[in-house]
């Protein structure tokens, strides 16, 4: 079945450093990939989305590129801020009205 | 602002009690999802609808959980007989199409004592 793998459960970084959160997926359908961010006691909010192979998508300083050849959609930012501390979820939609989520990565940014 | 409205925000029930939560999807979004987010922050898909029709649901949902999305009324998710393991954040989300990113509500946090 469809699945999403996020390998890091927790990433801790100092403010100003770059970050990459890994996301790989498995599906036999044409994939739609999403990154959501969830701050404490808030709703998950859409950060990025893509269904186009090899095209970089950006929002709020975060960026990701869908690579169908490697089934990946890694999230990156060149310089993290304290306010980026949150849970990040990668999710996969396949057009079948079911969106599958990864296990999430908690990003902690220290001063 | 686009919004999915979930009520109540918090729900406390004893074991064996019914627990019911409601969701008003974003206007123009015919697809509604329910997810359970556990204490480890993992998402478990429960059920989804397109308009009033159930599209998919997991086994757990079929046995103790019931859900509906009647026309002109909020969608609802009800646990017939709550168990301690049901304590979680229940998230409702809606989208315009099945392959579009769902828009989430803030969730109902259920505590089963």
Summarised one tens digit per residue, pLDDT across range B39-52 is: 999 999 999 999 88
- Tokens read off for A71: 């089934």
Q: Name the residue in chain B with its Cα closest to that of A29.
A: B99
pLDDT, tens digit (0-9, with 9 covering 90-100), for B71-107: 889 999 999 999 999 999 999 999 988 778 999 999 9
On whether the CB atoms of residues A100 and A91 are closer than 8 A, the answer is yes
CB contact under 8 A, A98 and B98: yes
> How many CB pairs below 8 A link A and B?
59
Q: Answer yes or no: CATH 3.40.630.10 is held by domain A3-110.
A: no
Domains of chain B, each with CATH number or no CATH: 5-112 (2.60.40.10)
The answer to whether A26 and A49 have CB atoms below 8 angstroms apart is no
């Amino acid at each position: 079945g469809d699945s999403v793998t996020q390998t890091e459960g927790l990433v801790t970084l100092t403010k100003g450093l770059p970050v990459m959160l890994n996301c790989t997926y498995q599906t036999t359908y044409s994939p739609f990939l999403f990154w959501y961010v969830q701050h404490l006691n808030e709703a998950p909010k859409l950060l990025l989305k893509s269904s186009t192979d090899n095209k970089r998508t950006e929002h709020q300083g975060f960026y990701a590129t869908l690579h169908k050849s490697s089934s990946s959609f890694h999230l990156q930012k060149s310089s993290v801020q304290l306010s980026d501390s949150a849970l990040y979820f990668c999710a996969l939609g396949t057009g079948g009205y079911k969106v599958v989520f990864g296990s999430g990565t908690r990003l902690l940014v220290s001063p | 602002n686009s919004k999915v409205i979930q009520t109540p925000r918090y729900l406390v029930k004893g074991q064996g009690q019914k627990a019911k939560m409601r969701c008003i999807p974003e206007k123009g979004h015919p697809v509604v999802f329910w997810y359970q987010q556990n204490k480890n922050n993992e998402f478990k898909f429960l059920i989804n609808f397109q308009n009033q029709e159930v599209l998919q649901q997991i086994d757990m949902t079929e046995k103790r959980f019931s859900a509906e999305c009647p026309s002109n009324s909020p969608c609802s998710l009800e646990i017939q007989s709550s168990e301690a393991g049901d304590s979680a954040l229940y998230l409702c989300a809606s989208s315009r199409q099945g392959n579009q990113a769902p828009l989430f509500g803030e969730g109902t946090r259920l505590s089963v004592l």
